Structures are given as structure tokens and as C-alpha cells.
């Protein structure tokens, strides 16, 4: 076998390894119910759940509890299937949190009751969509 | 008055630029095909149209800047990206905050590069400029803003606010112009953001040059001659892209709350990948010039680097990344156009290469293991694999979009722990690269065989082992994988350093680009290893507070809550938060926020007390001062060791109405480490929710509790200075009195002085608010018969800050390494450009 072939095979081998690990390490988008099933089956890999904060009929965020030292908090989130879930986050409340239109939590169920987020991504009303021009003074 | 002229001018310029780009491409094509006699006139015509294009492109940029600079908020672009409070250098950042401005920047750089190429090339002018003009046509189409039927081409930055806003005000008054814009994203209000985007876009633009030479070479059947003129540009491109990446990383380090310089965010990956491929291309091109191998590899790599830049643009700007990136742009409806742009050049490049593939010269010689070609090829392959490993997971959202576009369902998400995921590959690839550069350089400069290799590598090997041992011992590196990194880094530095010394001794410094860049690589590797691997979060919560949930103990609480004036032990330091401060024009340092009261006007405030620094009074009471961006607060944090004040940091934070809390860290810089402090949450200071009224009776000299603070009622005072009552002013027959309350908050004495005014049988109560302590006090009544005062008070909470602090060791090694690497690139550019001009002047190209 020529050296070129060995190198070629080596490259292909590494590339395949990269693809397999990428697929293996890729997370998934789940709902809270499927995430719970994963957790009860002993799979504690971090997954993504998309949803929004639970709001009262007046549009007020409900269920946001900041812990005493202000470095962590829990909140209620409703996923895209409409399931409600309490989520814990080990960081201070991001300041625009209550205004977010959509939140993505990345994490897993730590016990039956509580979903622990390692990371939260928020989609806030973007500048680009902002159409309410302040009509203060002319 | 609404000014529609500038916008129309800008829009016209965009159309002119678009049309002239197409004409230029067409006429340069004719110039190539024309018989010898007609060439001169086609060339003249092409150049003229390109110059018109150049003028129009600059005109677009000037029109847009005019709109921002003159605060023309009738335009959407100025309204949404700028505001009156912005200083001029940040207006420049506003220019490219929006996507349209970024495209204009890109167009501008292409124009500059095009003009340079016209004047530095003879033979290549025609083919290269055809490619250039085509690219320009695509880029200008992104900002064209022309609507034909249902088809919208490009998003114009010159659109009027009233044309896209649905605000009812425009139905009442179409001539309405907002008073102020919504401002620039505060994260971009940083000096690095003024220079980082232009650098990055010059990098983007410059990847076109080697690609254009290659396309020209294939079309003109000059399969190998394109390498010489393309090489200096490829190195230039890698240098500028690298510089752009580093500036972005540095910006992230000094302003972002991600807490680091590199986060493996899709937006960062999108630039890193083309850079890796461009670096690989440089290496194979150099090999080709030396020994006529690897030409085909070079062709593939040059095409890949250009297409990957377009792919990066597509990823970032089409909205496909969606929620997987913290800072991708929203879709402006350009995704289709971007896709066509990318596919157009991909198809052309593949078509030309496939068509000419069998004509491209190759070398049948099998590269020996003892040849430099072999080692460089392995190096280029490693770079390619690194790029592949990053681009694959970054493209997961694209994969989902394709599957969903075909009607399927895909729930793949990017890796949850991005940093961990990418690092575990990139680190080992980087180690391999470091070793390869060390060995490769020896092969490059010497004819090698087994015996010689051993001889020449022994000395650098021993020296690097010693160096690594010193670093490992002093830096306390006990993790096995980090030890390997140090070894590899040290070996690169020593091996390339010894070559560098030889070259300098031989007075051939201009050949030293490669070894310099590789020394830089070694330093980057060691710097990254220390600053990331040994980054130590010192703000561990040691308050002893635990919650009911047992598993919470495992979680690292990386933030601490600091109450104002209350010391807290944080690893080796005792820290005290001392309240929020403002930056004031013409004042050294920061001014405590409660010494200032905001008044009408942009960034204006009035001093409530004399403001001194270093024994000099800068402002007297009642002076109007001008704050540097009043939304920004600086949180004074003192660091003590053994009761000695070691240093004070002022991390910045701004509660932003559209973006939430925007924080920028402050760092204590040492030569060997940085101590990095970042604000993660703040108190609602401006507008607290006061609790219910409470009352307390006391006589002067008495003592009582307010919000758990021991309060001393020191006495009362008649007020004679009318200025003190401000709006109310003091009139004839008025009696105004002040109660002096004092509170000791740890080591700070706070004075709270509510006032009471009697005027014609009526009373006025002027409350005193201490935002630091969270107390509002009023004199509710005076009971003369008992000699007592009734105080009404409300409480909130003491001011606090939640912050994170970490130590990043040897981060300066990383920055120094990047500078050395860039310097190496510059040296190489000089050498390769010199070679090209010599050949050109001989009339060979």
C-alpha cells in the first residue's frame, strides 16, 4: 500500500470520528414531557426546550422566585406543547428576562419535579420589529 | 423638515453602483476576448466604468453617514441605530451596526482592493476584475431595495421610518420626525467595535483576491501562474482575517458578559473556519512554488476559503441560526439572495475546476516522509480537519432547515456545552499543528534524512523540555493534557525560534515570516491553555447559605451578592462594594451617583455637593456637569488583602430598555494575570418599590432603629440658604428646619437630612432619600410640647451588586503570541509581494 493511501485512510478515519462524535454530542430539542421520559430512563444529557414564561391573563409573568442571595432563581415555563414546568437557574435573573418573548432552556431534569437549566437563551422583542415609535413631541 | 434628498441620492448611487458593476464585468470580459487592436479601448472603457462604480459606492457610504451624522431620524437606519447622545466615533459604529451598513463596508473594501489590483497588475487585470465586478454586483444588490412586482431585491438603508413603521402617528402626520433615535447597542459602544468590523470585512473582502486570480488562471488556462500574484494576497487575507478575529476576541474579553475571549458561538466559528482554510491554502501554495506539488490541493483550498466566507455570511445574516446563537442578525429577507450569491460562485468555481482538472499539472512523485512537502501536506490536512470539525456542528441549524424544508422533522440541536465540545478536538489538533510546525520548519530549510533529522532536532528537543519543565513547575500545571499542551507549545517556540535566530544571523530576515508566525502559534497555545484551563473563579459564594435542595451543593455558585459597604471574603481577597458611580466629563475617575441629580437634557446633571478629587474642587454645588453616557453606571468594588486596599475596580453596567442589563467587566491587569470582575445583577436603584409607612418619635440627641440601622438624631438646624430648598425657595416669614440624622453603615457614616417648611400656617415636607441604604425619611410632624419629632420612613433594601470575579493567568502570553504571529504574516507578505513585482517587471506576468 502506498503512503498516500495510508494518509487518505487516516483522514477518512478522523473525519468519520468527528462526524460520529458530533452526532453523539449534538443535543436535541425536546418538550418537557419527552425530557422527563429521557431523565427517568437515566439519560441525563443536556437537552433544549423551547417555550415561554408563564403569564397571567394580564400578561404579567407569574411564578418567578428569586432566591435570597439573588444568585439563583426558579421560574415557571410553558413549552410549545403547553406543558408547564418549574425551572431552576443557577445565575442571577437576566434583567430583560420577564420581557422575553421566547426562552430556550438548555439543561435536564435533576429530579421529577425540577428542570435545571445550565444555560438560558432568550429572544427579546428585536429592534428590527419595533414599530411603536414614541410619539412624544414633534 | 424632512430631508428626502440624501436618501434618494444614496438610493440612486446604489442603483448606479449596481448597473456599473454589471457593465464593468461585461466590458472586462470583452477586453479579454477582444483582438489585440481593440484591447486598449475596451480596457479604458472598463476602467472608466469601474471608477464610476467606485465613486457611486463611496457615495452610498457618504450618504448613509450623512444621515447618521446629522441625526436625520426620519430615516429608519438613523432612528434605529443611532441617537443624539452618541459621540462621533460611536456614530461610526452605528454605521455598521445594521446589516446594510456592513454590506456597504464590504463593498467599499472591494472597491479599494479592485483599484489596487488594476494598478498593480498587467496581464491579470482583465480576468481578475471580471470576478470582482460580478461579486460587487451581488453585494450591491443586497442594499438595492428595489421592488419588482412581488420580488424584493435587497434591503435599502435609505428607507424612511414612515415607510416601514406602523405607528399611528404617521397617519396623522406623515411629516413626523422622532426627536431622538433608539441608540446604538451598548455592547458596541466600545473602541474595539469601531475598528473590529472594518478589519473583519477587509478580511472578508480580501479572500476574493486569491479566488479571483484562481478563476482567472483557470479561465485563461494559466493553471499555475496564478499562484505567484495570489500568494501575497492570500497571506494578506489570512493576516487581516486573523487580526479581525483577535480584535473580536479582545472585544469580547473586555466588554462581553460571556466571561471570555472565545465562546465557540456560531458567529465566531463562521469566521474561524475560512481563516483556517486560508492558512492551509497559503501553506500548499508555498509548497507548490517550491516544488510543483499540491497545486490541486491549493485550488480546492482557495475556492473553499472564499465560499466559506460567503457561507459564514449566509449563516450569520439569513436568520437560519435562529436561537442557536447569542448574536446573529435577524432575517432581512435577504436569505434567498445570499444563497444565490453563494451558489453562483460555488457552481462557477466547480464548473471551471472540473472542466480544467485534467489539464492541471500534477507531480507523480510520491512525497517522501523526509520531504518538506509531506509535512506541510499533513499540516494543511490537520487545518482542514479542524475546520471540518467546527463547521459540521455549526451547520446543525442549516441541516434542520433543509430537513424541515423537505417536509421532515429534525430536532437536532447544537451541543449543549459548546466550549467543552469544541475544545476537546481543537486542542489536540492544535497540539498536532504545533509539533508539525516545529518539525516542518527543519525540513523546509534543510535537506533531511533520518540521521540528520535526529541530529538537528536533539538540541531544540532538549531545550524545549527544559523550558516546558520550568513552565510546568512555575505555573503548577499538573493536568496531563495541559502538560502535553505546554510541551507542544514550548517545542514550537524553541524549534522555530532557533530557525529564526539562524535566519537573522544570515541577515535574511525577510524569510523569517514562517518561523515568526509559528513562534506566535506556540505562545497562543500556551496562553490559551493557562487563561482558559486555569481560569479561576474567585467569587465563590461562601456566605454559608444553603437551600433545601441537596443537589444544589454540587452546583458552583459563581456569583456573589455584595451589600453596599459590607465586606465579604472571596478567596484571597476581601471585597467591599462602595456604590454606583458615574463618569463625568473633565473629572478624573468616577463621581458617586448620589452626588449628582439628573436634569433635563442629554447626559446633563447638577452637582448636589462640591465634587473634589486630589485636593482640587472640580465642581461646586449647583454646577451643571455633563455625564459621559448617563445610562452607564460604574460599580466601585474595592479589593483588600490583609486590610490593605490593593486596588479598586469599576465594572460597568447599564439597564437597557431594549436589551436588558448590559455589563462590561473591569480588570486589574498584572503582567502575569488579569483579575476580571463582572456585574451580573443590580438593584432597582432609580425607582424602588417602597414598603409601607413606619413612624418613629424621637427628641434631638435620641436614638432609634430604622430598617435595622441604629439612627442617631443629632439635632436640628434652621435653613438660611434658599438654594437648599431648591424649587420651593425661601420666602419672607418662612421657617425652614432640617433634622440631622446619621447612620453608621459599617465603616461609612451616612447623613440623612429631611426638611420641614412652615409657610403661612401650611407645612411642606421634603423627604430625604438614601438610595444606598434604601431609606426614605420625612419629618411628619413636630410636637413642640414634648420636644419631639415624628419621623415617617419607608424602607426598601440596601444597594447591592451581584458580581462574578475570576483570575485569568498569563493571558498576556496569548495577546503577545497573536501580535508575533501577525508580524510573521506581514514579513511573509512583504517577501511574496516582492517576488511578484520582480516577475511582473520582467514582463512575465
Among candidates B57, B46, B16, which has minimal Cα distance to B127? B46
Nearest CA in chain B to A49: B413
Q: How far apart are CA B465 and CA B477, in angstroms?
A: 14
In chain B, what residues touch A50 (CB-CB under 8 Å)?
323
Q: How far apart are CA B613 and CA B344, in angstroms?
A: 63
Residue B330 pLDDT grade (very low, low, confident, very high; cuts 50, 70, 90): low
pLDDT in tens, B453-494: 777 788 888 999 999 999 888 888 888 889 999 999 999 999
In chain B, what residues touch A138 (CB-CB under 8 Å)?
173, 176-177
For residue A135, pLDDT beyond 60 = no
In chain B, what residues touch A123 (CB-CB under 8 Å)?
323
- Taking only residues 374 to 433 of chain B, the set having a beta carbon closer than 8 angstroms to any beta carbon of chain A reads 377-378, 381, 385, 388-389, 392-393, 396, 411-417, 421, 425
For residue A1, pLDDT beyond 70 = no
**Domain extent listing, chain B:** 1-184, 187-414, 550-681, 694-798
What is the residue range of A110's domain? 31-127
Residue B367 pLDDT grade (very low, low, confident, very high; cuts 50, 70, 90): low
Nearest CA in chain B to A91: B559
Q: How far apart are CA B671 and CA B811, in angstroms?
A: 9
Does A22 share its domain with A36? Answer: no
Query: Which pLDDT does position B364 carry in this prediction?
Result: 66
Query: Which pLDDT does position B541 carry in this prediction?
Result: 62
Instruction: Choose among A18, A94, A106: nearest Cβ to B416.
Output: A106
Residue B386 to residues A111, B380, B429, B491, B609, Cα–Cα distance (Å): 38, 10, 7, 21, 60
Query: Which pLDDT does position B558 carry in this prediction?
Result: 77
CA distance B169 to chain A (A): 6
Query: Which pLDDT does position A128 carry in this prediction?
Result: 36
Q: Is A96 on the interface with B (CB under 8 A)?
A: yes
Residue B27 pLDDT grade (very low, low, confident, very high; cuts 50, 70, 90): very high
What are residue B143's phi and psi, to 5 degrees? -115, 15
Give the count of domains, chain A. 2
Q: Is A63 on the interface with B (CB under 8 A)?
A: no
Interface size between A and B, measured as CB pairs under 8 A: 153
Strands (E), B202-304: none
Query: Which pLDDT does position A134 carry in this prediction?
Result: 39
For residue B167, pLDDT beyond 70 = yes
pLDDT in tens, A85-98: 999 888 888 766 77
CA distance A25 to chain B (A): 6
Q: Is residue A137 part of a domain?
A: no
Instruction: Choose among A26, A30, A121: nearest Cβ to B326.
Output: A121
Percent of chain A with pLDDT over 90: 4
Q: Is B335 on the interface with A (CB under 8 A)?
A: no
The predicted model gives B543-559 an average pLDDT of 55
Does A85 share its domain with A123? Answer: yes
Does A13 share its domain with A48? Answer: no
Handedness of CA B465, B471, B476, B482 (dihedral sign): negative
Q: How far apart are CA B440 and CA B284, in angstroms?
A: 13
Instruction: Choose among B388, B413, B659: nearest Cβ to A15.
Output: B388
Lowest mean pLDDT among B225-239, B249-263, B565-579: B249-263
Average pLDDT, chain B: 86
Does A49 share its domain with A11? Answer: no
pLDDT in tens, A35-58: 888 888 888 788 888 888 888 887
Q: How far apart are CA B142 and CA B133, in angstroms?
A: 15
B555 and A90 in contact by Cβ < 8 A?
A: yes
Q: Is A118 on the interface with B (CB under 8 A)?
A: yes
Grid coordinates representing B635 are 460599580
Query: pLDDT higher for B659 or A4?
Result: A4
Residue B362 is classified by DSSP as -
pLDDT in tens, B495-518: 999 888 888 888 888 888 888 999
Q: Is residue A135 part of a domain?
A: no
Nearest CA in chain B to A117: B416
Query: Which pLDDT does position A131 carry in this prediction?
Result: 37
Does A13 share its domain with A72? Answer: no
Interface probe, candidates B326, B543, B660, B686, chain A, greatest A C-beta count within 10 A:
B660
Q: Is residue A80 part of a domain?
A: yes
Residue B343 pLDDT grade (very low, low, confident, very high; cuts 50, 70, 90): very high
Residue B776, strand partner residues: B769, B794
Q: Is residue A36 part of a domain?
A: yes
The predicted model gives B762-771 an average pLDDT of 85
CA distance A83 to chain B (A): 18
In chain B, what residues touch A6 (CB-CB under 8 Å)?
none
Query: pLDDT higher for B444 or B579?
Result: B579
Query: Which pLDDT does position B325 carry in this prediction?
Result: 57
Interface probe, candidates B399, B411, B424, B548, chain A, greatest A C-beta count within 10 A:
B411
Interface probe, candidates A9, A12, A15, A25, chain B, greatest B C-beta count within 10 A:
A25
For residue B257, pLDDT beyond 70 = no
A131 and B167 in contact by Cβ < 8 A?
A: yes
Q: Is residue A62 part of a domain?
A: yes
Q: Which residue in this structure is represented by grid cell 439612627?
A: B711
Q: How far apart are CA B101 and CA B111, in angstroms?
A: 15
Q: Is B28 on the interface with A (CB under 8 A)?
A: no
A132 and B167 in contact by Cβ < 8 A?
A: yes
Query: Which pLDDT does position B388 carry in this prediction?
Result: 94
A18 and B385 in contact by Cβ < 8 A?
A: yes
Q: Is residue A136 part of a domain?
A: no
Q: Is A97 on the interface with B (CB under 8 A)?
A: yes
Q: Is A47 helix (H, G, I), strand (E, B) or coil?
A: strand
Helix or strand (DSSP H, E) at B309: helix B295-317
For residue B547, pLDDT beyond 50 = no
Does A115 share its domain with A54? Answer: yes
In chain B, what residues touch A135 (CB-CB under 8 Å)?
167-169, 176
B414 and A26 in contact by Cβ < 8 A?
A: yes
Nearest CA in chain B to A13: B385
Query: pLDDT higher for B819 or A6?
Result: B819
Does A44 share its domain with A88? Answer: yes
Contact B260, B254 (CB under 8 A): no
pLDDT in tens, B62-74: 999 999 999 999 8
Q: Is residue A45 part of a domain?
A: yes
Grid coordinates representing B80 are 434605529
A26 and B396 in contact by Cβ < 8 A?
A: yes
Percent of chain B with pLDDT over 70: 93
Q: How far apart are CA B26 and CA B29, in angstroms?
A: 5
In chain A, what residues touch B177 (CB-CB under 8 Å)?
138
- Taking only residues 69 to 128 of chain B, the set having a beta carbon closer than 8 angstroms to any beta carbon of chain A reads 79-80
pLDDT in tens, B705-735: 887 888 999 888 887 776 666 666 667 777 8
The predicted model gives B660-670 an average pLDDT of 82
Counting Cα atoms < 13 Å in the Cβ hemisphere of B826 gives: 8
Q: How far apart are CA B689 and CA B693, in angstroms?
A: 12
Q: Is A29 on the interface with B (CB under 8 A)?
A: yes
In chain B, what residues touch A93 (CB-CB under 8 Å)?
681
Query: Which pLDDT does position B553 carry in this prediction?
Result: 52
Lowest mean pLDDT among A91-95, B45-49, B180-184: A91-95
Grid coordinates representing B192 are 474595539
- Taking only residues 505 to 564 of chain B, the set having a beta carbon closer than 8 angstroms to any beta carbon of chain A reads 541, 543, 545, 547, 549, 551-552, 555-561
Q: Which residue in this structure is represented by grid cell 430598617?
A: B707
CA distance A57 to chain B (A): 23
Q: Which residue in this structure is represented by grid cell 489536540?
A: B428
Does A16 share its domain with A79? Answer: no
- Taking only residues 129 to 158 of chain B, the set having a beta carbon closer than 8 angstroms to any beta carbon of chain A reads none
Query: pLDDT higher for B346 or A48?
Result: B346
Radius of gyration of chain A (CA): 21
Residue B12 pLDDT grade (very low, low, confident, very high; cuts 50, 70, 90): very high
Query: Which pLDDT does position B152 carry in this prediction?
Result: 82
Does A20 share its domain with A76? Answer: no
> How many other CB atoms are there within 10 angstroms of residue B218's CB atom?
24
Q: How far apart are CA B686 and CA B711, in angstroms?
A: 24
Query: Which pLDDT does position B520 carry in this prediction?
Result: 93
B557 and A124 in contact by Cβ < 8 A?
A: no
Residue A127 pLDDT grade (very low, low, confident, very high; cuts 50, 70, 90): very low
pLDDT in tens, B520-536: 999 999 998 888 888 88
Residue B324 pLDDT grade (very low, low, confident, very high; cuts 50, 70, 90): low
B161 and A94 in contact by Cβ < 8 A?
A: no
Q: How far apart are CA B53 and CA B445, in angstroms?
A: 46
Angle between helices B295-317 and B208-219 (to 10 degrees): 130
Angle between helices B418-445 and B372-394 (to 10 degrees): 170
In chain A, what residues touch B396 (CB-CB under 8 Å)?
26
Q: Is A44 on the interface with B (CB under 8 A)?
A: no
Q: Is residue A133 part of a domain?
A: no
Residue B408 to residues B72, B396, B401, B413, B720, Cα–Cα distance (Å): 47, 15, 9, 15, 81
Residue B259 pLDDT grade (very low, low, confident, very high; cuts 50, 70, 90): low
Query: Which pLDDT does position B546 carry in this prediction?
Result: 46
Residue B752, strand partner residues: B741
Query: Which pLDDT does position A30 carry in this prediction?
Result: 86
Grid coordinates representing B250 are 479582545
Amino acid at each position: 500500500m502506498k503512503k498516500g493511501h495510508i494518509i487518505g485512510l487516516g483522514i477518512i478515519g478522523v473525519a468519520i470520528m468527528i462526524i460520529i462524535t458530533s452526532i453523539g454530542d449534538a443535543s436535541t430539542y425536546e418538550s418537557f414531557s419527552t425530557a422527563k421520559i429521557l431523565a427517568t430512563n437515566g439519560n441525563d444529557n443536556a437537552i433544549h426546550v423551547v417555550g415561554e414564561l408563564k403569564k397571567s391573563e394580564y400578561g404579567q409573568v407569574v411564578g418567578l422566585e428569586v432566591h435570597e442571595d439573588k444568585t439563583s432563581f426558579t421560574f415557571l415555563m410553558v413549552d410549545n406543547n403547553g406543558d408547564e414546568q418549574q425551572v431552576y437557574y443557577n445565575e442571577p435573573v437576566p434583567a430583560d428576562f420577564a420581557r422575553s418573548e421566547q426562552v430556550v432552556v438548555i439543561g435536564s431534569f435533576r429530579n421529577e419535579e425540577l428542570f435545571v437549566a445550565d444555560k438560558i437563551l432568550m429572544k427579546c422583542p428585536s429592534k428590527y420589529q419595533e414599530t411603536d415609535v414614541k410619539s412624544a413631541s414633534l | 423638515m424632512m430631508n428626502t434628498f440624501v436618501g434618494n441620492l444614496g438610493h440612486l448611487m446604489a442603483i448606479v453602483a449596481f448597473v456599473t458593476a454589471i457593465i464593468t464585468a461585461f466590458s472586462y470580459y470583452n477586453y479579454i476576448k477582444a483582438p489585440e487592436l481593440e484591447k486598449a479601448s475596451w480596457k479604458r472603457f472598463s476602467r472608466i466604468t469601474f471608477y464610476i462604480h467606485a465613486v457611486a459606492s463611496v457615495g452610498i457610504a457618504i450618504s448613509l453617514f450623512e444621515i447618521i451624522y446629522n441625526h436625520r431620524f426620519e430615516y429608519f437606519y438613523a432612528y434605529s441605530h443611532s441617537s443624539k447622545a452618541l459621540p462621533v466615533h460611536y456614530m461610526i459604529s452605528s454605521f455598521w451596526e445594521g446589516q446594510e451598513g456592513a454590506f456597504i463596508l464590504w463593498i467599499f473594501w472591494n472597491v479599494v482592493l479592485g483599484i489596487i489590483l488594476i494598478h498593480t497588475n498587467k496581464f491579470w487585470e482583465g480576468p481578475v476584475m471580471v470576478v470582482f465586478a460580478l461579486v460587487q454586483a451581488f453585494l450591491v444588490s443586497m442594499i438595492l431595495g428595489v421592488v419588482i412586482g412581488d420580488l424584493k431585491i435587497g434591503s435599502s438603508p435609505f428607507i424612511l421610518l414612515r415607510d416601514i413603521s406602523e405607528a399611528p402617528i404617521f397617519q396623522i402626520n406623515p411629516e413626523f420626525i422622532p426627536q431622538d433615535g433608539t441608540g446604538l447597542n451598548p455592547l458596541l459602544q466600545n473602541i474595539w467595535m469601531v475598528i473590529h468590523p472594518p478589519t473583519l470585512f477587509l478580511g472578508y473582502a480580501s479572500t476574493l483576491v486569491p479566488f479571483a486570480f484562481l478563476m482567472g488562471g483557470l479561465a485563461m488556462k494559466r493553471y499555475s501562474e496564478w499562484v505567484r500574484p495570489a500568494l501575497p494576497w492570500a497571506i494578506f487575507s489570512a493576516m487581516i482575517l486573523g487580526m479581525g478575529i483577535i480584535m473580536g476576541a479582545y472585544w469580547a474579553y473586555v466588554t462581553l458578559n460571556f466571561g471570555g475571549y472565545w465562546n465557540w458561538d456560531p458567529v465566531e466559528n463562521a469566521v474561524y473556519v475560512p481563516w483556517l482554510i486560508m492558512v492551509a491554502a497559503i501553506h500548499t501554495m508555498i509548497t507548490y512554488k517550491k516544488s510543483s506539488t499540491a497545486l490541486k490541493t491549493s485550488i480546492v483550498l482557495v475556492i473553499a476559503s472564499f465560499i466559506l466566507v460567503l457561507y459564514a455570511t449566509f449563516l450569520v445574516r439569513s436568520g437560519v441560526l435562529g436561537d442557536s446563537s447569542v448574536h446573529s442578525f435577524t432575517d432581512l429577507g435577504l436569505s434567498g439572495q445570499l444563497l444565490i450569491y453563494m451558489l453562483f460562485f460555488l457552481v462557477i468555481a466547480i464548473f471551471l475546476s472540473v472542466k480544467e482538472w485534467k489539464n492541471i499539472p500534477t507531480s507523480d512523485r510520491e512525497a517522501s516522509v523526509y520531504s518538506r512537502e509531506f509535512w506541510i501536506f499533513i499540516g494543511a490536512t490537520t487545518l482542514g480537519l479542524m475546520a471540518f470539525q467546527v463547521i459540521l456542528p455549526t451547520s446543525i441549524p442549516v441541516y434542520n432547515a433543509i430537513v424541515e424544508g423537505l417536509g421532515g422533522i429534525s430536532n437536532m440541536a447544537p451541543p449543549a456545552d459548546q466550549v467543552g465540545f469544541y475544545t476537546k478536538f481543537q486542542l489536540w489538533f492544535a497540539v498536532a499543528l504545533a509539533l508539525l510546525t516545529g518539525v516542518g520548519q527543519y525540513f523546509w530549510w534543510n535537506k533531511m534524512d533520518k540521521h540528520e533529522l535526529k541530529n538537528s532536532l536533539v538540541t531544540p528537543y532538549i531545550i524545549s523540555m527544559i523550558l516546558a519543565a520550568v513552565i510546568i513547575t512555575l505555573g503548577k500545571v499538573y493536568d496531563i493534557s495541559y502538560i502535553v499542551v505546554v510541551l507542544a507549545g514550548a517545542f514550537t517556540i524553541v524549534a522555530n525560534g532557533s530557525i529564526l535566530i539562524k535566519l537573522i544571523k544570515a541577515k535574511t530576515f525577510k524569510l523569517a515570516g514562517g518561523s515568526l508566525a509559528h513562534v506566535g502559534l506556540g505562545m497562543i497555545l500556551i496562553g490559551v491553555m493557562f487563561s482558559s484551563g486555569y481560569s479561576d473563579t474567585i467569587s465563590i459564594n461562601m456566605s454559608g447559605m444553603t437551600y433545601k435542595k441537596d443537589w444544589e451543593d454540587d452546583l458552583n455558585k459563581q456569583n456573589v451578592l455584595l451589600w453596599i459597604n459590607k465586606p465579604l471574603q472571596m478567596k484571597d481577597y476581601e471585597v467591599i462594594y462602595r456604590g454606583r458611580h458615574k463618569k463625568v466629563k473633565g473629572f478624573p475617575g468616577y463621581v458617586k451617583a448620589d452626588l449628582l441629580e439628573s436634569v433635563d437634557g442629554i447626559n446633563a446633571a447638577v452637582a448636589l455637593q462640591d465634587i473634589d478629587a486630589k485636593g482640587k474642587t472640580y465642581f461646586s454645588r449647583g454646577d451643571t456637569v455633563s455625564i459621559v453616557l448617563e445610562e452607564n453606571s460604574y460599580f466601585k468594588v474595592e479589593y483588600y488583602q490583609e486590610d490593605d486596599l490593593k486596588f479598586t475596580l469599576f465594572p460597568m453596567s447599564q439597564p437597557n430598555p431594549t436589551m436588558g442589563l448590559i455589563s462590561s467587566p473591569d480588570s486589574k491587569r498584572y503582567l502575569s494575570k488579569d483579575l476580571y470582575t463582572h456585574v451580573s445583577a443590580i438593584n432597582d436603584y432609580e425607582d424602588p418599590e417602597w414598603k409601607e409607612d413606619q413612624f418613629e418619635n424621637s427628641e434631638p440627641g435620641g436614638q432609634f432603629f430604622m430598617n435595622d440601622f441604629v439612627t442617631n438624631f443629632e439635632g436640628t438646624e434652621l435653613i438660611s440658604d434658599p438654594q437648599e430648598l431648591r424649587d420651593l425657595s425661601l420666602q419672607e416669614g418662612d421657617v425652614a428646619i432640617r433634622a440631622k440624622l446619621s447612620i453608621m453603615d459599617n465603616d461609612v457614616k451616612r447623613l440623612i437630612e429631611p426638611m420641614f417648611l412652615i409657610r403661612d400656617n401650611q407645612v411642606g415636607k421634603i423627604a430625604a432619600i438614601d438610595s444606598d441604604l434604601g431609606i426614605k425619611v420625612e419629618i411628619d410632624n413636630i410636637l413642640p410640647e414634648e420636644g419631639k419629632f415624628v419621623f415617617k420612613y419607608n424602607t426598601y433594601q440596601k444597594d447591592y451588586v451581584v458580581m462574578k470575579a475570576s483570575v485569568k493567568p498569563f493571558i498576556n502570553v496569548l495577546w503577545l503570541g497573536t501580535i508575533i504571529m501577525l508580524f510573521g504574516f506581514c514579513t511573509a507578505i512583504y517577501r511574496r509581494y516582492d517576488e511578484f513585482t520582480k516577475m511582473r517587471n520582467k514582463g512575465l506576468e
